[in-house]
C-alpha cells in the first residue's frame, strides 16, 4: 500500500491537472448545442484510458456516445470488475450565480481545505477520476492491474440514461463481470466514508391540461368555463393527503419498511437534522408524518412538482383564462416500488380525474427503479476494509435520496450488484452554481480505490 499511496501523493498535482482538463470540456449532455463538446469529452476520456493501457473505444448511440474500456487479465484469479460513471454534466445555469466561470475550474480554499470549483466537479467527473487515477497508479507501480476490469462511462445519466439500457442488452456479453463499482454518491463527512446500500428510483413526467382552444377574457368567460390552471392546481394539490402521504392508487403497496438492523444503523449515524436543513436555509422538515428526516430522504417515496406554468406570467396584470396548463412532476421511489407501475398509476390518476372540457397529456421524461444492495456481500465487506486504509473513521452504510437510473438495469440486465462507493459531501452544491469537489475527497477516493483493488486481489 505504502508505495501506491506515495505514488498518489507525489503525482497529486498532476491528477488535479488532469481533472481540470476533464472539467474544461463542457459536456452538457441534455443540451444539443453542446453535442460536439460532449463527444469531445467522450474522446478525451477514451484517450486517457488508452494512455493507461486500456483497450478503449467511443461507441455511438442514438444519443450521447458511451465510452467502454477493457483491461483483460485472463490469468488473474480475482473477480472481474465493471466500473460505471458518467461524463455528462448538468447545465450550468443560472450563470450569473457562479463566482468563477463553470467550465474554468479553479482550486480555492474551502471549509475542508482546497477544493476544485466547476460544473461536474463532484457529479461525476471528480468521482470518475478517483478510480481512473487509481488504475493509473496501480499500473505504474505494479506493472499490471490485478484482474480483468471493464469501464463503462456514459453521457446521458442526467437525462435518465435512455440509451444505456438498450446498450447493456446489446452488449451484455462484452460487459460480463462480477460486480459493478459506482462512485457517484456521497459520504457523511470528509473523515467518514459511506457505502450507499439503498438508492431511490425515479419517475419523471410532464403533464399538460388543455381546455379552451385559446386564451379567453377572464371576465367574459370566467366562472362559466373550465380553467386548466385552476383544474391542474386542484389535481396536484390532491396528490398529497393531510399526513403528507401520496394519494396515488397503490403507491405504498410494495414499499418495504426498514429492517431493524438498518434502522439501528441509521440512528447511530449521528445525522444532524438542523445542520442538514441549514444547508438549505431551513429549520423545519416537512413531509410524511411520523417519519424522521433520514427516512424521508432515504427510505420513503415522494412526489414533487418541479415546475408549473401556463397563462400569463409577464409584467403587470393580464386577465386571461389560459388555454393550457402544464407541470413537471417527479416521484422518488424506494424498494420494492417499480417505476413502470408508478407511471401507470400517474396516468390513470390524471385521465380519471381530467375535468370535463379538458384533455390531458402525460409525457414520460425518464425513469429508473430503486435499488437495494445486500450488505452481507463479500464486495461490500472488501469495500469497507478498503476505506479503512484511506479514512480515519470506518465506513457507514447509508441510503441516498438521489437516483442513478442505470443501477437497477445493471442488476436486471447484467445480473450483478453494484457497490455505491461515493466521495461527495452534502455541501458540494451538486447541480447548483459553484459546484465543487474537495481535494481531500479526491485523494482519499483514489486511495480507497487502490486499496479495494488490493483487497479483492488477495483472494
Q: Which one of 96-104, 111-119, 237-245, 396-404 is the stretch in contact with ligand BES (CB under 6 A)?
A: 396-404
Q: Which one of 49-57, 142-150, 178-186, 435-443 is the stretch in contact with ligand BES (CB under 6 A)?
A: 178-186
Cell numbers representing residue 152 in the block? 463503462
Query: How many other C-beta atoms lie within 10 A of the C-beta of residue 296?
Result: 16
Least separation in angstroms between residue 159's CB and ligand BES is: 7
- The partner residues of 114 in beta bridges, in order of sequence, read 109
Q: Which does 185 bind (CB under 5 to 8 A by kind): Mn ion, ligand BES, none?
A: ligand BES
Which x/- pattern over 123-152 shows residues binding Mn ion (rule: CB under 5 A)? xx----------------------------
Does 158 interact with ligand BES (rule: CB under 6 A)? yes
- Interface residue with ligand BES, options 210, 227, 400, 409 (CB under 6 A): 400
Gap between the Cα atoms of 357 and 236, Å rounded: 18
Does 184 interact with Mn ion (rule: CB under 5 A)? yes
Is the distance from CB of 407 to CB of 371 less than 8 angstroms?
A: yes
Q: Which of residues 2-41 bind ligand BES (CB under 6 A)?
A: none
Q: Identify which of residues 123 and 454 has a Cβ nearer to ligand BES in the complex.
A: 123
State the DSSP H helix or E strand holding residue 38, giving kind and residue range, or none if neither. helix 35-52
Using a 10 angstrom Cβ sphere, with 0-12 exposed, 13-18 middle and 19 or more buried, the burial of residue 123 is buried
Strand-strand pairing, 201-210 and 436-438 = unpaired
Is the distance from CB of 191 to CB of 423 less than 8 angstroms?
A: no
Q: Which one of 120-128, 221-229, 280-288, 372-380 is the stretch in contact with Mn ion (CB under 5 A)?
A: 120-128
Q: Which does 366 bind (CB under 5 to 8 A by kind): ligand BES, Mn ion, none?
A: ligand BES
State the DSSP H helix or E strand holding residue 345, giving kind and residue range, or none if neither. helix 339-352
How is residue 95 annotated by DSSP? G
The site for ligand BES, by CB under 6 A, has a size of 16
- Interface residue with ligand BES, options 79, 186, 211, 322 (CB under 6 A): 186
Does 403 interact with ligand BES (rule: CB under 6 A)? yes
How is residue 364 annotated by DSSP? E
- Interface residue with ligand BES, options 116, 405, 409, 454 (CB under 6 A): 405
Q: Identify which of residues 105 and 402 has a Cβ nearer to ligand BES in the complex.
A: 402
Quick one: which of 301, 194, 294 has its CA closest to 255?
Answer: 301
Least separation in angstroms between residue 112's CB and Mn ion is: 20
Distances (CA, A) of 191 to 1, 44, 387, 389, 395: 19, 32, 10, 12, 9
Radius of gyration of the chain, Cα coordinates, nearest whole angstrom: 23
256-260-262-265 Cα dihedral, nearest 10 degrees: 160
Least separation in angstroms between residue 271's CB and ligand BES is: 14
Quick one: which of 114, 147, 22 has its CA closest to 436?
Answer: 114
Quick one: which of 457, 436, 455, 458 has its CA closest to 390?
Answer: 455
Does 402 interact with ligand BES (rule: CB under 6 A)? yes
Q: Identify which of residues 84 and 350 has a Cβ nearer to Mn ion in the complex.
A: 84
Phi, then psi, of 28 in degrees rounded to 5: -80, 90
- The partner residues of 359 in beta bridges, in order of sequence, read 210
How is residue 84 annotated by DSSP? E
Q: Which does 402 bind (CB under 5 to 8 A by kind): Mn ion, ligand BES, none?
A: ligand BES
Which x/- pattern over 359-388 shows residues binding ligand BES (rule: CB under 6 A)? -------x----------------------
Q: Which one of 43-51, 341-349, 380-388, 401-409 is the stretch in contact with ligand BES (CB under 6 A)?
A: 401-409
Is the distance from CB of 326 to CB of 311 less than 8 angstroms?
A: no
Closest residue to ligand BES, judged by C-beta, is 402
Q: Which of residues 419-448 bind ligand BES (CB under 6 A)?
A: 430
> Which residues are CB-neighbours of 219 under 8 A, at least 6 positions away?
319
Q: Identify which of residues 325 and 404 has a Cβ nearer to ligand BES in the complex.
A: 404
Q: Which does 405 bind (CB under 5 to 8 A by kind): ligand BES, Mn ion, none?
A: ligand BES
Q: Identify which of residues 49 and 122 has a Cβ nearer to Mn ion in the complex.
A: 122
Tell me which residues touch ligand BES (CB under 6 A): 123-124, 157-158, 160, 184-186, 202, 366, 400, 402-405, 430
Interface residues with Mn ion (CB under 5 A)? 123-124, 184
Amino acid at each position: 500500500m505504502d508505495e501506491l499511496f506515495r505514488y498518489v501523493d507525489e503525482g497529486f498535482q498532476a491528477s488535479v491537472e488532469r481533472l481540470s482538463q476533464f472539467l474544461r470540456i463542457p459536456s452538457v449532455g441534455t443540451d444539443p448545442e453542446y453535442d460536439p463538446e460532449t463527444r469531445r469529452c467522450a474522446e478525451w476520456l477514451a484517450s486517457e484510458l488508452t494512455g493507461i493501457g486500456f483497450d478503449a473505444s467511443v461507441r455511438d448511440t442514438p444519443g450521447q456516445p458511451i465510452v467502454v474500456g477493457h483491461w483483460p487479465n485472463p490469468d488473474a484469479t480475482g473477480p472481474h470488475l465493471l466500473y460505471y460513471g458518467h461524463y455528462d454534466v448538468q447545465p450550468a445555469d443560472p450563470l450569473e450565480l457562479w463566482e468563477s466561470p463553470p467550465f474554468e475550474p479553479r482550486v480555492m480554499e474551502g471549509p475542508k481545505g482546497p477544493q476544485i470549483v466547476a460544473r461536474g466537479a463532484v457529479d461525476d467527473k471528480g468521482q470518475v477520476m478517483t478510480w481512473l487515477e487509481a488504475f493509473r497508479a496501480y499500473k505504474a507501480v505494479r506493472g499490471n492491474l490485478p484482474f480483468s476490469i471493464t469501464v463503462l462511462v456514459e453521457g446521458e445519466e442526467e437525462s435518465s440514461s435512455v440509451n444505456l439500457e438498450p446498450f447493456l442488452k446489446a452488449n451484455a456479453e462484452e460487459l460480463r463481470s462480477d460486480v459493478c463499482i459506482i462512485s457517484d454518491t456521497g459520504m457523511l463527512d470528509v473523515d467518514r466514508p459511506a457505502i450507499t446500500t439503498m438508492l431511490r428510483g425515479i419517475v419523471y413526467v410532464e403533464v399538460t391540461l388543455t381546455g379552451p382552444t385559446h386564451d379567453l377574457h377572464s371576465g367574459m368567460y370566467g366562472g362559466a368555463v373550465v380553467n386548466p390552471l385552476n383544474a391542474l392546481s386542484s389535481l396536484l394539490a390532491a396528490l398529497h393527503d393531510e399526513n403528507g402521504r401520496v394519494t396515488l392508487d397503490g403507491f405504498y403497496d410494495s414499499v418495504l419498511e426498514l429492517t431493524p438492523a438498518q434502522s439501528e444503523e441509521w440512528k447511530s449515524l449521528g445525522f444532524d437534522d438542523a445542520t442538514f436543513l441549514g444547508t438549505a436555509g431551513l429549520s423545519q422538515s416537512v413531509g410524511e408524518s411520523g417519519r424522521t428526516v433520514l427516512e424521508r430522504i432515504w427510505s420513503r417515496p415522494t412526489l414533487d412538482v418541479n415546475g408549473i406554468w401556463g397563462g400569463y406570467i409577464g409584467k403587470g396584470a393580464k386577465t386571461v383564462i389560459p388555454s393550457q396548463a402544464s407541470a413537471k412532476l417527479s416521484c422518488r421511489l424506494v424498494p420494492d416500488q417499480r417505476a413502470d407501475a408508478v407511471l401507470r398509476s400517474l396516468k390513470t390518476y390524471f385521465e380519471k380525474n381530467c375535468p370535463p372540457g379538458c384533455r390531458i397529456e402525460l409525457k414520460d421524461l425518464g425513469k429508473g427503479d430503486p435499488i437495494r444492495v445486500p450488505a452481507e456481500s463479500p464486495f461490500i465487506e472488501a469495500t469497507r476494509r478498503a476505506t479503512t486504509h484511506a479514512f480515519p473513521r470506518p465506513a457507514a452504510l447509508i441510503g441516498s435520496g438521489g437516483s442513478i437510473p442505470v443501477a437497477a438495469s445493471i442488476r436486471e440486465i447484467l445480473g450483478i450488484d453494484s457497490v455505491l462507493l461515493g466521495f461527495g459531501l452534502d455541501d458540494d452544491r451538486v447541480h447548483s452554481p459553484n459546484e465543487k469537489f474537495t481535494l481531500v475527497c479526491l485523494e482519499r477516493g483514489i486511495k480507497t480505490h487502490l486499496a479495494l483493488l488490493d483487497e479483492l486481489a488477495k483472494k
